[in-house]
């Protein structure tokens, strides 16, 4: 339960942020803010915590508080890849490969790919940034029969383009499931949040132009980084 004083400060700060104050993106230090609002550090932190939960501000370790950038609009029916989606929205995307290797498929992944548990799959772990901020930790699981030799390619690029240019494989239909849930220990540190922090988990099972299941993506998003939009 929140205190009345924290609610009032949260509203006041929210209004200032929405009116365009703190143009640099960085909020004043907690000490400055608690003096400005003539309140204790505890109450101030409660107010900041409310704004953080609403996705209005976020904290960086040892750097303080920042105004959250606009959410990326994620429309499952537009099959554009991450870099294209960011570009269309005037944002700058970048991709870092954390790991790319062959692994035995765990049961859930094997089912998604229509393989047997323990069959070899390619697993690519990548971290994706928008305007320099890590927002998405993703694990791609590929059926290696579709993509021989792929792990030797430059995997910082779009897989969509690589599939098309090297293998003549293009995306067909896809099935998305979207679940709110806690960010697991392998994803949370890369996204600069504590393990167990709420996030959005999007699983995509992708088919190619011949309707074969070719890969599956397990995406772990910062909860304040995107807005899923669906038009029907």
Sites of contact with its own copies (CB under 8 A):
1-2, 49-50, 53-55, 71, 76-77, 79, 173-182, 185, 194-196, 198-200, 223, 227-232
| CB of 22 vs its own copies, minimal distance in Å | 21
Residue 42 or 97 having the CB closest to its own copies: 42
Nearer to its own copies, 104 or 185 (CB): 185
- 164 vs 203: CA distance, rounded Å: 22
Nearer to its own copies, 6 or 150 (CB): 6
Closest to its own copies by CB, 154 or 231? 231
DSSP designation for 28: P
Distance CA 215, CA 32 (A): 50
Nearest residue (CB) to its own copies, 12 versus 230: 230
Contacts for 131-134: CB closer than 8 Å, 24+ residues apart:
131/69, 131/91, 131/92, 132/92, 132/94, 133/69, 133/225, 134/190, 134/191, 134/192, 134/222
Closest to its own copies by CB, 38 vs 179, is 179
Nearer to its own copies, 82 or 122 (CB): 82
The runs of H, that is alpha helices, within 54-197 are: 82-88, 107-112, 159-167
CB of residue 133 to its own copies, shortest distance in Å? 17
Task: Output DSSP code: residue 26.
Answer: B
Of 65, 74, 10, the closest CA to residue 222 belongs to 74
How far apart, in whole angstroms, are the C-alpha atoms of residue 11 and residue 17? Answer: 10
Contact 65, 220 (CB under 8 A): no
Q: CA-CA-CA-CA torsion for 77, 81, 84, 90, nearest 10 degrees? A: 70
* Min separation Cβ 154 and its own copies, Å: 28
**Least separation, in Å, of the C-beta of 146 and its own copies?**
20
Closest distance of CB 153 from its own copies, Å:
26
HSE-CB of 107 using CA atoms within 13 angstroms: 0
β-pair partners for 142: 122, 215
Query: What's the closest the beta carbon of residue 209 comes to its own copies, in angstroms?
Result: 14
Q: Smallest distance, Å, CB 184 to its own copies?
A: 9
């Amino acid at each position: 339960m929140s205190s009345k004083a924290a609610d009032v400060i949260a509203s006041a700060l929210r209004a200032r942020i929405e009116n365009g104050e703190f143009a640099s993106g960085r909020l004043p230090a907690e000490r400055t803010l608690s003096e400005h609002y003539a309140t204790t550090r505890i109450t101030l932190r409660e107010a900041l915590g409310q704004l953080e939960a609403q996705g209005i501000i976020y904290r960086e370790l040892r750097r303080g508080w920042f105004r959250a950038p606009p959410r990326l609009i994620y429309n499952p029916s537009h099959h554009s890849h991450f870099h294209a989606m960011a570009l269309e929205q005037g944002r700058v995307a970048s991709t870092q490969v954390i790991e790319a290797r062959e692994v035995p498929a765990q049961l859930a992944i094997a089912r998604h790919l229509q393989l047997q548990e323990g069959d070899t799959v390619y697993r690519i772990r990548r971290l994706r940034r928008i305007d320099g901020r890590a927002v998405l930790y993703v694990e791609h699981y590929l059926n290696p029969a579709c993509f021989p030799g792929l792990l030797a390619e430059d995997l910082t690029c779009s897989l969509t383009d690589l599939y098309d240019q090297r293998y003549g494989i293009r995306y067909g239909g896809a099935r998305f499931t979207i679940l709110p849930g806690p960010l697991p220990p392998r994803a949370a540190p890369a996204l600069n949040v504590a393990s167990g922090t709420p996030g959005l988990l999007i699983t995509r099972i992708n088919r190619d132009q011949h309707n074969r299941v070719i890969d599956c993506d397990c995406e772990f998003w910062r909860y304040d980084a995107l807005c899923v939009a669906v038009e029907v």
